[in-house]
Structure 1
Amino acid sequence: MFAVVKIAGQQFKVQEGQNLYVPHLTGKSGDKVEFSEVLLVDNDGKFSVGSDVKATVKAEIVSDFVQGDKVIAFKMKRRKGFRKKHGHRTQYTQIKIESIA
C-alpha cells in the first residue's frame, strides 16, 4: 500500500515504515504529524484519486533539523572586478511514516 501526499507544496510517494526528508516542518523530535492532503492511494491494486480519497497519513518526526548540501551561487563579470558569492543550505525534517489510514 502506498500513497501520494502533498507536503509543503511538494508531492511525495510514501509507504508505511518509510523514512524520508521533507521541507522543514515545525515540531520537535518525537512529535506526531498528520498529513490530510492525500492525492492518491493504492490499496492492493485499487486506486483512489482526487476527491474519492478519504485517507490521512500519520508520521513521526525523527530528526527536526537536517541541513542539505551547500549550494553556491557565484556571479562574476569579466574585466569589471564584479564578483558576488552567495550560498545556502536547505533545511529539512526527517520523518517516519507510521500509517496510511
Structure 2
Amino acid sequence: MPSKFLKVMFAIVKIAGQQFKVQEGQSLYVPHIAGKSGDKVEFSDILLVNADGKLSAGKDASATVKAEIVNDLVKGNKVIAFKMKRRKGFRKKHGHRTQYTQIKIESIA
C-alpha cells in the first residue's frame, strides 16, 4: 500500500533565537547574521530532524544544516510606535526597520 505522505527530509533549526522549518533548496529570511553575500554558514542547533519518514528530536537529532548567504542585508517594513496624550502637548514618535539576512539551504546532513 503506497504511503500518503511524501518522505521529504526537513529539519527544525534554531537560528538567532527563532525556530525555522527548513528543507534543502529552500530560501528564507532570518534575523541578521554576520557575513557577506556568498559566504557559507552552518547551523548545528537542530531541534528535530525528519529523515526518510523517521523523526528524531532533542539529543537524538544530530545533524548540521549548511546554507549560503544570498543577500546579506534586507530591511523589513517600517514599524512606528507613536505615543500621544491629548491636550497635554505630549507626542513621542519612535520607529525602526528590522534587518534580515536571506539564506538558501544547501544541505541537511
Sort the TM-score into its range (normalised by shorter chain): over 0.9
User: 2:54 is matched with which residue: 37, 46, 54?
Assistant: 46
Partner residue in 1 for 2:3: none
Q: Percent identity?
A: 83
**Runs of 4+ residues deviating >4 angstroms:** none
Partner residue in 1 for 2:101: 93
Q: Which has the higher strand share?
A: 1
1:64 paired with 2:64, answer no
Structure 1 Cα separation of the partners of residues 62 and 29 of structure 2: 24
TM-score scaled by length of structure 1? 0.99
Amino acid at match of 1:9: G
Mark the runs of 5 or more structure 1 residues left unpaired by the alignment: none
Question: Which structure's CA Rg is the greater one?
Answer: 2
Deviation at 1:44, TM superposition (A): 2.1
Partner residue in 1 for 2:15: 7
Structure 2 Cα separation of the partners of residues 24 and 94 of structure 1: 9
TM-score scaled by length of structure 2? 0.92
Deviation at 1:21, TM superposition (A): 0.3
